[in-house]
Structure 1
């Protein structure tokens, strides 16, 4: 390990220590607040102490941005500081605020390589006492995902991986097995219509592609609001009998 990397990790440890509450272990789940979604997730929500994966529905920037905003909305509804690990510092701060995640809650850890992003995530998850740890990566090898999952289990911190593609061919890697407890895909749909002229609330197709000890499903949802909450648009056909769960295997 280079001296520069050792210094960066040591500095991150100090910053996490100052932000944390002593690594108290969380238990249970973070519900979405929508019965149609929570009822298909073991425990009734997104599990703490677990690793969860998210990606855009295609290789384009728009769907990738929707996946990142969905993750930001989840992080916004947790308690405590957020560590966001990335190699490309291109997040648009006003968009994070729009989904409820204020910059004063976030510590950004920038790295040159994805291997360092994974190492930083593991360090932050192992320390605990945070609302969530987010990492932006292209590939998530099985061994690395197992290390992240074990670190999350140890402290009860939620790990959120945003898979970002630089080219369409890299999206094929999302089908490879990992140790993540859930795997999601987010695609942009036409906005919900308004009774007057204007742009309505963004609408997403949310696909639960894998759920350990659970079923797969898909939902049409309204994008996160300024509290990180999603909704079901009016006229939506979401429900236990219309989720298309048979499209994916767990």
Structure 2
């Protein structure tokens, strides 16, 4: 059909997570560059919200180039972001007054084309705006990430509405791995891939990002049959 229409299939670069069960669920074997992705905390609390932000920072850390991070609240904890591999000198912070301004800055960042990734913290994301962001990302090959944050519980309902994002993720904090000595082990997350265009939904229990932004499978789960594969859901078109 594409040859008849005289169009070429767009070859999309991907950013692998380096975790085989995750990459196997993603078309092309990784998170698509030149595309829009959505990430939110699994609950409305600050803990899951912080985990979602660190998940995004870990992804951004593994791209090349400067990172544009658009915010409405100056509460992103830079030392924590640095601990997952995103150095402060790579991040350009833009503080905007509201979601509309954040989305406008995000679109301009994607349009620029010289960034590793462009991140926008927003409560609401409409289909119309998300399509525009997706098109800008496709044009330049820059990864766009909408980090969904809510000021009130009712805003979280918007996360269930359809958008043009390639993937949609939900991040929840799990108990840390037990240590043989007193202390806190490496943080663990439940990553829910609740939408994946041309793929399937799934979820994964992982160790949180390390100092280079990399995830890993917990050692006590890596050898369990079936656990490492995630739980597949319905196809998401």
Same fold (TM over 0.5): yes
Per the alignment, do residues 249 and 30 of structure 1 end up closer, same or farther by CA in structure 2, a change over 3 Å counting?
Answer: closer
Post-superposition, which runs of at least 4 consecutive aligned residues in structure 1 deviate over 6 A? none
1:107 shift after superposition: 0.4
Contact 1:203–1:223 (Cα < 8 Å) also in 2: yes
- Distance, in Å, in 2 between the alignment partners of 1:166 and 1:38 is 33
- Distance, in Å, in 2 between the alignment partners of 1:172 and 1:243 is 25
Per the alignment, do residues 32 and 239 of structure 1 end up closer, same or farther by CA in structure 2, a change over 3 Å counting?
Answer: farther
Q: Which residue of 2 aligns with 1:153?
A: 138
Contact 2:36–2:167 (Cα < 8 Å) also in 1: yes
TM-score normalised by L of structure 2: 0.91
Q: Which residue of 2 aligns with 1:101?
A: 86
1:200 shift after superposition: 0.2
Which residue of 69, 76, 79 corresponds with 1:91? 76
Q: Which residue of 2 aligns with 1:246?
A: 233
Comparing 181-190 with 231-240, which one deviates more in the overlay?
231-240
1:228 shift after superposition: 0.2
Q: Which residue of 1 aligns with 2:124?
A: 139
Q: Which residue of 1 aligns with 2:15?
A: 30
Q: Does 1:202 align with 2:187?
A: yes
Deviations 1:191-250 (A, max 9, x none): 011121110000000000000000110000000011000111122258478522237856
1:143 shift after superposition: 0.6
TM-score normalised by L of structure 1: 0.86
Name structure 1 gaps, 5 residues minimum. 1-25
Which residue of 83, 104, 110 corresponds with 1:119? 104
Aligned residues: 225
Contact 1:51–1:149 (Cα < 8 Å) also in 2: yes
Partner SS, residue 200 of structure 2 = coil
Which residue of 184, 188, 193 corresponds with 2:173? 188
Comparing 163-172 with 137-146, which one deviates more in the overlay?
163-172
Name structure 2 gaps, 5 residues minimum. 1-10
